[in-house]
Amino acid sequence: MARRSRYTEYNEDLNVWPAFTDLMSNAFMILVLFLFLTIIISQINKSQISKNINQSVQNSEQLALKIKQLQQQVKYLQIQLQSEKKSTDAPPIIVIKDEGAYRFASGSAEISQEMSNYILKQIVPEIETRTKQYGINVVEIIGHTDGQANGQVTSNLDVNLENVVSGNLPVGKLQAGSNADLGLMRALSVVKVLRDIQKKQGKLSELSFRAYSAAQLILPNGQFAGIARKEDVTRRRIEIRFTRLGEVQEVR
């Protein structure tokens, strides 16, 4: 009996399965808990990532809107700058030299067909470009002569000038009694060609033309001329100038 009791106690001491089972159970629970924690953390991370993505998309949309607004502001400022440039920059002066096929006959203001074609094909496109570029509404045509005396012809401009402007008389009917008359007649001839192109071809829209004479007073370099009563073809020319009319103001 004593031997059997010792054997039983020995077997009970060697029975470790309950402890192993408890250990495995605890380990499984820990593993399950760890898995749950992993899933929870993963969901939290996904939620945070989704939130970050949404925030990034929102930030991108706001940035795109801001960029668009800035582009509009830049465009507006460019328009303003161009407007300021138009109001401050001086447009160039176009010169038709009295030479070659574009020469006026001595004492005459009649324009040749070659010169008319030149005005249509070369001068008109340049006028249209410059008037748009600088916001011009008035084109001034100025006739310049040399200092050679114009002879003993009696001027009839005081009588016929308005009829020529209105088209009732051709420019050839005018008689220049001075270089001032001759410069005005030649400027008026160019104006009539430009107005005819404007009326018949629809070019040069919304522009007004004015004819002036500088006679022999101004040299090509802009300086006042001295006394020189000889022929000088370099001084004979038509100048085309651009200006903007403002409000008329009387200074008292």
Task: Compute the distance between CA of residue 12 and CA of residue 18 in angstroms, rounded to an integer.
Answer: 11
Contact 176, 109 (CB under 8 A): yes
Q: Which of 63-72, 99-108, 150-159, 198-207 has the highest mean pLDDT?
A: 198-207
C-alpha span between 215 and 160 (Å, rounded): 19
pLDDT-wise least confident of 75-79, 113-117, 225-229: 75-79
pTM for the whole structure:
0.66
Q: Whose CA is closest to 115, among 103, 126, 105, 107?
A: 103
In SS3 terms, 126-182 reads as HHHHHHHHHCCCEEEEEEECCCCCCCCCCCCHHHHHHHHHHCCCCHHHCCCCCHHHH
CA angle 221, 222, 228 (to 5 degrees): 80
Q: Which two tokens stand for residue 93?
A: 């002066």
pLDDT digits (tens, 9 = 90+) for 150-197: 877 899 999 999 999 998 999 989 999 999 999 999 999 999 999 999
Which is higher by pLDDT, 29 or 206? 206
For residue 12, pLDDT over 80 is answered with: no
In the prediction, which pLDDT does 120 show? 95
Share of the chain above pLDDT 90, in %: 45
